[in-house]
Chain A
């Protein structure tokens, strides 16, 4: 089994991992989380058995780091402090604010929506990355979208 040079992973997926984390934990914590994700990846890399889905592997690590952040903060919606004062209704004007609304979803819905839409992952990938069944992945995306629609007026379809 030959793994590519680690630098090629960084060159190919740094933006995906960062965007995923910004949507998951908010911009303030994303940078630390991003660094922890890549250091953990570098540590574990030589023991990796397959080179078939390196992006998925990295996002799995990023998901775990994001969950650690949420655990450390305690329960509750994230990134509320970063919302514009006018409120989220205005937010749909702007893609960044849309992700701020996504960041306020419950953990699993947020991860599933981010993977599906931000990173354009197919459901089997969403499921594998989150360590849940494909049905559960679909359900989480569905619930997340429903909530975005009801609370913020964002119209997306799965």
Chain B
């Protein structure tokens, strides 16, 4: 008895997938990319055991349980990420779905962060100001920590005013690596703890 046929294409054609996803290896680790009909909705670091399952469960609970592996729906973000890591792309040109972002200040912080150009950095206070309240730098840090779309919404470009790296959801090694790719940090520092 032969095994069940692959339904990936049939699902993609059906128009019934609410959240498509794919898992990709990258220079900053394993990434989960997920999209709705409106655009890329999350990009999670899923290197640890259980990360992927947890992320998919969150997507099912918060967006729709019709979550399915559908690599072709993620072709554009995969290509742009490849180009970014390969050095041939500086800006992402992707529709984004902010459904997983808290409306209000958090969303404004991330929208402002999305505008920071490649290779430039802004302080937590600076990004809080751009979002409308420069005293709310701690809240800005929290907002950036909740960023469901790291790399594409480049929260790694937000640093402490004194030059410290601040925090990062995927771990500071990844923040350091991204800033090195962009030439903000010199190459030789990339490997150091």
Q: Which residues of A contact B (CB under 8 A)?
A: 2-8, 10, 14-15, 17-19, 22, 27, 31, 34-35, 38-39, 42-43, 45-46, 95-96, 99
Contact = CB atoms under 8 A, between A and B. Distances in A.
A43 B18 CA distance: 10
Interface of B: 1-5, 7, 10-11, 14, 16-19, 21, 56-57, 59-61, 64-69
Contacts of B1: 19, 22, 27, 95-96, 99
Contacts of B19: 5
A4 B57 contact: yes
A22 B16 CA distance: 26
A4 B65 contact: yes
Given A5-B59, A34-B4, A42 B67 contact: no
A27 B2 contact: yes
Contacts of A39: 10-11, 14, 16
Chain A binding surface SS class = helix
B56 A7 contact: yes
Nearest to B55: A5
B7 A7 contact: no
Contact of A35 (B3, B7, B65, B67): B7
Contacts of B59: 5
A141 B70 CA distance: 40
Contacts of A34: 4-5, 7
Contacts of B3: 15, 18
A46 B66 contact: yes
